[in-house]
Structure 1
């Protein structure tokens, strides 16, 4: 009787296809996040109250624009919406060209429905408290990415220096410099793991999409835009 062959589980398990990570585009994404976080902070009740008081007290604004405070306040959401346009277009391109999630690929139509008809097909709008947490998360990513940028630049300089001195130095001095380069290389790799560099396009896309939907919603709510 022929014995039945048993293949190890590892051989019988198909390797899952890994989703692409953001990589070098992390710095571009961090820039978009920075602008979204800034706009979100502007919508806090404290900032809005401060702006309204500034408008009411400013003689210069009234001379240049109008004496009607309500009219001046009515101009603010239009400017905020205008600032959101390039950020929204960026998320749409990201979703269409790089994300695998079908909802993100359809972001352009979804956000259009949200702005024009108030329809949120994927439930992306967040309550204030959750958006605050998302904003804090993005701020951490922005900070880590800034550290990563500086670290990569320094590592590049160190590697070039190492190449230049390898032929002229030897012994303990060269070894010490090689160790310095290796430590910086490990530091950069750790920063990549923690930063946007190692996040998937879908992860980043959802974070940005939720932020865009929520900010549009709060602009309407805060300034009474129908």
Structure 2
């Protein structure tokens, strides 16, 4: 496939120049970073006051949920919390891997910092945003994900155009005027892709990208804690959800907990 060929080529180029600078650009890994941002956005949006209130109402009033899952509202809440923490843990694993490429030693220690957050609730670097600031960062991540989706599409188009141009040049019967016009079309698309790269995550440093991801992970952890209650989080096995072990939820299905309420925040600050 054309997509596979250009993507592999970009990956090799990215790896070759990965350590050329302490401020290395994230390059082709922007697509993975954008995917992580999309997952964090989904989690954050599911934890807004409006969504939490809707969730609480559904748990209380839905006959279908009680029939299909459990009549025990506490158990339903616990399962939701486990799923959210597992999803957050999967993102944290990817962030921990990417953080190894950062020049900032604090960012390179993300894995240990997240483990400490999970085990003892310590935010040693003050990475958690206020809720209002996280809302602003969420809008920024939305723009990044949209820009990267557009970039990916245009890079696919460019790859197709370049393949067609290559075939035209190899055809002795190709019309010279048509060939020149097509070369102009390819050159224009190359400039468009270059501009999109310069204004997307592609052109951001590892430090910038991981800093945004890391602080978002910490903030969403704090928001989950506020919605479900930190005692509740401990009791569902969050203390076992370290970056190096994402299977905590499957090992803690039988653990009971004492707090079952799901509640929106009374204010928008941690």
Structure 1 length-normalised TM? 0.88
Deviation at 1:56, TM superposition (A): 1.6
Does residue 213 of structure 1 match 2:218?
Answer: yes
Does residue 146 of structure 1 match 2:144?
Answer: no
User: What RMSD in Å do the two structures reach over aligned CA positions?
Assistant: 1.6
Long gaps (5+) in structure 1: 1-16
1:77–1:220 CA contact under 8 A, matched in 2: no
What pairs with 1:149-188 in structure 2 (closer than 5 Å)?
Answer: 149-166=152-169, 167=171, 168-188=173-193
Q: Deviations over 1:96-125 (max 9, x none)?
A: 2x1111111111111111222221111100
Q: 1:57 aligns with which of 37, 41, 61?
A: 61
2:22–2:103 CA contact under 8 A, matched in 1: no
C-alpha distance in structure 1 between counterparts of 2:50 and 2:188, whole Å? 44
- After TM superposition, which residue ranges in structure 1, 4 or more long, deviate above 3 angstroms? none
C-alpha distance in structure 1 between counterparts of 2:139 and 2:72, whole Å? 36
Deviation at 1:18, TM superposition (A): 5.4
C-alpha distance in structure 2 between counterparts of 1:213 and 1:115, whole Å? 10
Bigger helix fraction: 1
Long gaps (5+) in structure 2: 1-20, 232-270
C-alpha distance in structure 2 between counterparts of 1:152 and 1:216, whole Å? 35
C-alpha distance in structure 1 between counterparts of 2:80 and 2:168, whole Å? 58
SS in 1 for 2:230: coil
Structure 2 length-normalised TM? 0.74
Q: 1:134 aligns with which of 116, 134, 137?
A: 137
Match of 2:45 in 1: 41
C-alpha distance in structure 1 between counterparts of 2:122 and 2:108, whole Å? 17
Q: 1:105 aligns with which of 103, 108, 115?
A: 108
Equivalenced residues, count? 210
2:165–2:182 CA contact under 8 A, matched in 1: yes
